[in-house]
């Protein structure tokens, strides 16, 4: 993947991400990386603005889009030569809707690199893996980012000892109730099988899925 992105123009959904500077250093190889964030103010990035402000390396900028990951209407179909996303899809209530948008803006015969959290190492470890049928139902039922279906489960099973920035239970509950504005909740818990089923369902060819203690690293191609 690192050599593949050499001199190519790509886009990242929900970044920038340290993993693409270090463990998978695609930023340094790419010709340019643009970025998408859901708001001009996020917990992760602070204040951001649209335009040539997406700083993924020191003194290196791409175009910053302010858009929901499920609605990228500002971007024409088949614009980008690769697509990146790290620790983002779990924050989206309708993953298939998002993935279809990501596929739409990716050129044919080009690659998507997805990094999703492995629950064994994080605050979701007490939750069950989400079923593929649930993901399909969310898509068919037109679930949007206001969805709070999983709130009771999250409040009950979220391991705050592994999420110190969330504060105590009361602070975490208040933040969770405001999820439409902050997008901190992990709506779904992903397994390798779920990732495979989602990508198969939208017609992406899976090149590889690597499971680490912290992540599932997936490379898929749009045919």
Q: What mean pLDDT is predicted for residues 64-81? A: 98
What integer pLDDT is reported at residue 115 of this predicted model?
A: 98
Report the distance separating Cα 211 and Cα 191, nearest Å. Answer: 9
Q: How do beta strands 204-211 and 106-117 pair?
A: unpaired
Please report the beta strands in 87-160, taking only residues with DSSP state E, as ranges in sequence order: 106-117
Tokens of 47: 């204040």
* pLDDT above 90: percentage of residues in the chain: 98
What integer pLDDT is reported at residue 180 of this predicted model?
A: 97
Residue ranges covered by each domain of the chain:
9-118+188-222, 132-182
**Better pLDDT: 191 or 2:** 191
- Give the DSSP per-residue string, 4-52: TTBT-EEEEES---GGGTTTS--TTTBSEEEEEESSSEETTTEE--SEE
| Structural fold of domain 9-118+188-222 | Rossmann fold (3.40.50)
Residue 58 pLDDT > 80, yes or no?
Answer: yes
Q: In the 8-state DSSP scheme, what is residue 90?
A: G
- Read off the pLDDT of residues 140-181 as tens digits, 9 standing for 90 and up: 999 999 999 999 999 999 999 999 999 999 999 999 999 999
Mean model confidence pLDDT for the chain: 97
What integer pLDDT is reported at residue 1 of this predicted model?
A: 77
Omega prior to 132 cis, within 30 of 0:
no
């Amino acid at each position: 993947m690192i050599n593949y992105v050499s001199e190519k123009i790509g886009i990242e959904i929900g970044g920038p991400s340290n993993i693409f500077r270090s463990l998978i250093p695609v930023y340094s190889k790419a010709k340019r990386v643009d970025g998408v964030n859901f708001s001009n103010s996020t917990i992760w990035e602070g204040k951001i603005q649209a335009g040539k402000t997406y700083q993924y390396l020191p003194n290196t900028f791409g175009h910053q889009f302010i858009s929901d990951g499920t609605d990228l209407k500002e971007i024409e179909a088949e614009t980008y030569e690769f697509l990146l996303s790290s620790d983002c899809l779990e924050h989206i209530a309708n993953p298939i809707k998002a993935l279809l948008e990501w596929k739409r803006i990716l050129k044919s015969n080009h690659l998507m690199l997805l990094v999703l959290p492995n629950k064994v190492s994080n605050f979701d470890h007490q939750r069950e893996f989400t079923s593929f049928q649930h993901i399909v139902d969310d898509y068919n039922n037109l679930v949007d980012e206001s969805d709070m279906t999983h709130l009771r489960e999250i409040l009950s099973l979220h391991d705050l000892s592994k999420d110190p920035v969330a504060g105590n239970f009361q602070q975490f509950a208040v933040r969770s109730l405001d999820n439409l504005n902050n997008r901190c909740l992990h709506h779904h818990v992903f397994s390798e099988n779920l990732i495979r089923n989602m990508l198969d369902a939208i017609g992406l060819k899976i090149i590889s899925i690597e499971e680490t203690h912290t992540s599932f690293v997936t490379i898929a191609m749009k045919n």
